[in-house]
């Protein structure tokens, strides 16, 4: 979508002025135009999709809560940059089916497993959606962790994005999409990977020496 590409260019400068974004694990991001996969990250801010979009070479297609589409203009913009609405907590199968189509079309689905923002920055329990989509599409999952560091006077806010190794679909241990024990175990596996990325980031004391976008 042309609007996504234009928006990505326009957001580069203001984001660099406000944030010092550093990245680790960039080597785990698949090359562009390979098979579709799921990018699963924790959620701490409304600008998380923008930050991830600036880093990823692939266009990201994000689930967004349906309330954001209530404003006609905002909804139009979101639609034209690849976002699609989901009714949270209602078993929105239309959104799930759309997400599955994205993976099957060899595109990249961006999703926040926790389903909502964490106000404290601590990881929340994952919802089942991301695993259900992975199970029905055979898509692999790329875990990512976004960590915001405390503000320092007269400095840009530091945000670090860490990418982990791709979780191959077979490692999720799913034999179907109705086995609740398997779904729960796979969700815990994913969040454990994200938690490890967060711990590694915090231990880097500000991610010094890592790539900066």
Per-residue pLDDT 10s for the chain (213 aa) are 788 999 999 999 999 999 999 999 999 999 987 899 999 999 999 899 999 999 999 999 998 888 889 888 888 888 888 899 888 766 678 888 999 999 999 999 999 999 889 988 899 999 988 999 999 999 999 999 999 998 888 889 999 999 999 999 999 999 877 899 999 999 999 999 999 999 999 988 644 556 777
pLDDT of residue 191: 98
Structure confidence at residue 209 (pLDDT): 53
pLDDT for residue 90: 64
| pLDDT tens-place string over residues 110-137 | 999 998 899 888 999 999 889 999 999 9
- Quick one: DSSP state of residue 28? G
Specify the pLDDT at position 207: 46
3-state secondary structure the chain: CHHHHHHHHHHHHHHHHHEEEEEECHHHCCCCCCCCEEEEECCCCCCHHHHHHHHCCCCEEEEEEHHHHCCHHHHHHHHHCCCEEECCCCCCHHHHHHHHHHHHCCCEEEECCCCCCCCCCCCCCCCCHHHHHHHHHCCEEEEEEEEECCCCCCCCEEEEEEECCCECHHHHCCCCCCCHHHHHHHHHHHHHHHHHHHHHHHHCCCCCCCEEC
What is the model's pLDDT at position 74? 86
pLDDT at 25: 96
Which pLDDT value is given to residue 18? 94
Paired strand residues for 176? none
């Amino acid at each position: 979508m042309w609007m996504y590409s234009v928006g990505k260019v326009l957001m580069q400068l203001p984001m660099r002025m406000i944030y010092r974004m550093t990245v680790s694990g960039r080597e785990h991001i698949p090359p562009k135009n390979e098979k579709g996969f799921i990018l699963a990250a924790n959620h701490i801010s409304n600008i998380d999709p923008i930050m991830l979009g600036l880093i990823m070479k692939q266009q990201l297609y994000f689930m967004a809560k349906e309330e954001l589409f209530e404003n006609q203009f905002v909804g139009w913009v979101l639609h034209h940059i690849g976002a699609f609405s989901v009714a949270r907590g209602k078993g929105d199968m239309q959104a799930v089916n759309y997400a599955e189509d994205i993976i099957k079309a060899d595109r990249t689905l961006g999703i926040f497993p926790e389903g909502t923002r964490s106000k404290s920055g601590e990881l929340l329990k994952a919802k089942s959606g991301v695993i259900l989509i992975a199970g029905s599409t055979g898509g692999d999952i790329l875990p990512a962790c976004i960590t915001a560091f405390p503000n320092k006077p007269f400095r840009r806010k530091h945000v670090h994005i860490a990418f982990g190794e791709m979780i191959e679909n077979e490692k999720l241990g799913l034999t179907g999409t109705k086995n609740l024990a398997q779904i729960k175990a796979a969700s815990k596996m994913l969040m454990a990977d994200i938690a490890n990325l967060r711990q590694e980031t915090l231990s880097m004391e500000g991610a010094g020496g890592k790539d900066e976008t």
